[in-house]
Chains A and B, each alone.
Chain A
């Protein structure tokens, strides 16, 4: 009997939603478990880092890493798992594009720590304690990983073979990816394991999008009662569908909410936010500078809207750092 292929999961800067997505495979997860040996999955199983270090290089068939890379520990684990794995998959938006944690690239480490540990309304920290790289407590030296100023995608840290897009990837895409890995029917290295089409292409509301769209106002979903049949862009709501890869079957639009772009761009686009900006701005129904400023001004947070998941993967990667 041949040994079952070894599979590992790991999480970096992420919310745990990607782990949920694996569990969302429901009864299909049993097929996966029957076909593979899970050798590392800190969220669900009790293996330690030294267990991975003890494995032979290249002995893991495939490792799925979710989350962006923003600490020294995550960076070390990315390198370690790369070395031990024949295939490394960036799993989910944070790993592929930087994701929501990637919006920290608009800020700096000091402000991030100050907000999280001192000034946020829900924080109770009268002594103003901040995490330290090193402390001594009761005679024991304790350490924490270093927090980087710039959040990175997995492929900005190590070599990545495939990408599974989404926040989180849908069970359907995960099952298809696992199937492809088990049968060896894999596309070219560097591929995103989802259809290379815009989300609009698989959106049920596609037919209701007018050929010529001109918008006199951009609205937030909270400011308008949304029709459940009509194209959301046609209703003035910023839907990232035109600038986003399909594969999720327009799940958010099915829930009557606009696409926010978690699956990243198609292969023809380098910078998702810039492409979305281009499309949205060209829809503005005015040729007058002041009026255009007023209409586009409704996009209160352009970076958070256009680059909600893709700032670290964008051309500029982060807010400019002042040079000393």
Chain B
């Protein structure tokens, strides 16, 4: 949970986005690890899921994260040419681009879904990416994907009146 630094009402009301981050085992997860060991501070809004390769991220994972309440999804993989499995990150890039367009058609803004290449040494860029994404999603507000329950309130009376 985010640290509370002040007790003011404004701070209490500030929207804290929930962001699911899928990081590859060989690059971005190590960058996050390095950020931890070097005590870099970044926004505590991401929940990191380690995957062996960004290419392992089934688009279903992303949709499931959104469906279960994530306000944003961040994917971190190795730089082009650096994939531990040679081509996983290229497949991620292709899927990302088509999925982002699909999400757009479903009313989910581009800033909520982000792909970044971050190598094992890039703790500082990781911090910048996470902070930037948290701010952008915060500005967009909660995603609220729930399908609203619809009621035809006076249905019973109306049927009875016929």
Contact = CB atoms under 8 A, between A and B. Distances in A.
A303 B80 CA distance: 28
B95 interface: yes
B80 to A, nearest CB: 7
Interface string B58-70: 1110111011000
B58 A296 contact: no
B155 A274 contact: no
A284 interface: yes
Contacts of A79: none
B63 A316 contact: yes
A320 B158 CA distance: 30
A287 B59 CA distance: 18
A282 interface: yes
Interface stretch (A21-29, A55-63, A140-148): A140-148
A277 B95 contact: yes
A128 B99 CA distance: 39
B158 A281 contact: no
Interface stretch (B21-29, B103-111, B127-135): B103-111
B143 interface: yes
Contact of B144 (A149, A270, A323): A323
Interface residues of B, number: 36
A293 B115 CA distance: 15
B93 interface: yes
A321 B102 contact: no
Interface in A107-132: none
Contacts of B62: 274
Interface string B74-90: 00000010000000001
Interface string A61-82: 0000000000010000000000
Contacts of A320: 106-108, 143-145
A86 B147 CA distance: 30
A274 B90 contact: no
Nearest to A145: B152
A103 to B, nearest CB: 11
B147 A318 contact: yes
B97 A277 contact: no
B98 A299 contact: yes
A316 B97 CA distance: 18
Contacts of A303: 102, 105-106
B136 interface: no
B95 A302 contact: no
26 contacts: A141-B161, A146-B155, A149-B150, A270-B60, A271-B63, A274-B58, A274-B60, A277-B98, A278-B58, A278-B59, A281-B97, A281-B98, A282-B95, A287-B90, A287-B93, A289-B97, A292-B93, A299-B98, A302-B105, A303-B106, A314-B63, A315-B66, A315-B67, A320-B107, A320-B144, A323-B142
Leading 4 A-B pairs by shortest Cβ distance: A320-B107, A274-B59, A315-B63, A281-B94
